[in-house]
């Protein structure tokens, strides 16, 4: 069961963060202040899906690894603390701050500064999760390593 749960939870986490990031970027570029506010206020509700998915990925990955910290498994395990710290220290507080500012209609310098930090941190987590997803596919034999 863990062999199925782990990639499903990982895909949910990756797609959720990508949806947050893409909806933020597109609303900022192409939409009105009302749409930006709606997106920013919806993201904290999405955390109710994202956080359990990330916890599930971490816990199931730890269980599946059976203490093995070498090779690709070790690389995946070393990425997880960065993903978690980025989320807990930067992304979750930023999402809550931006939702509060957007609800008040306050799109000031502080809003856009935090928005820029959130977009960079989100891109970092998308990249790290995508690399872990790719490595997981390599471990299962679904994707072969390219020779350089």
pLDDT value of position 19: 96
CA-based end-to-end distance of the chain: 35
pLDDT value of position 90: 96
For 68-127, what is each residue's pLDDT tens digit? 778 888 888 888 889 999 999 999 999 999 999 999 999 999 999 999 999 999 999 999
Asked whether the predicted pLDDT for residue 132 surpasses 80, the reply is yes
For 94-107, what is each residue's pLDDT tens digit? 999 999 999 999 99
Distances (CA, A) of 18 to 77, 112, 126: 21, 19, 6
Secondary structure, 3-state, the chain:
CHHHHHHHHHHHHHHHHHHHHHHHHHHHHHCCHHHHHHHHHHHHHHHHHHHHHHHHHHHHHHHHHCCCCCHHHHHHHHHHHHHHHHHHHHHHHHHHHHHHHHHCCCCCHHHHHHHHHHHHHHHHHHHHHHHHHHHHHHHHCCCCCCCC
Domain 2-139 has CATH 3.30.1140: no
* Average pLDDT score over residue span 50-61: 90
Residue tagged 């570029």 (tokens): 29
| Boundaries of every domain in the chain | 2-139
């Amino acid at each position: 069961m863990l062999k199925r749960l782990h990639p499903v939870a990982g895909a949910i986490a990756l797609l959720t963060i990508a949806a947050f990031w893409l909806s933020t970027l597109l609303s900022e570029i192409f939409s009105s202040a009302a749409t930006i506010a709606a997106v920013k206020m919806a993201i904290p509700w999405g955390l109710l899906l994202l956080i359990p998915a990330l916890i599930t990925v971490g816990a199931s990955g730890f269980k599946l690894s059976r203490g093995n910290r070498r090779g690709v498994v070790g690389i995946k395990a070393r990425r997880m603390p960065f993903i978690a710290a980025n989320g807990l220290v930067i992304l979750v507080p930023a999402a809550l701050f931006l939702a509060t500012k957007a609800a008040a209609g306050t799109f000031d310098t502080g809003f856009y500064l935090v928005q820029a930090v959130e977009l960079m941190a989100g891109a970092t987590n998308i990249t790290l999760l995508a690399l872990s997803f790719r490595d997981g596919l390599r471990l299962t034999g679904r994707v072969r390593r390219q020779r350089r």
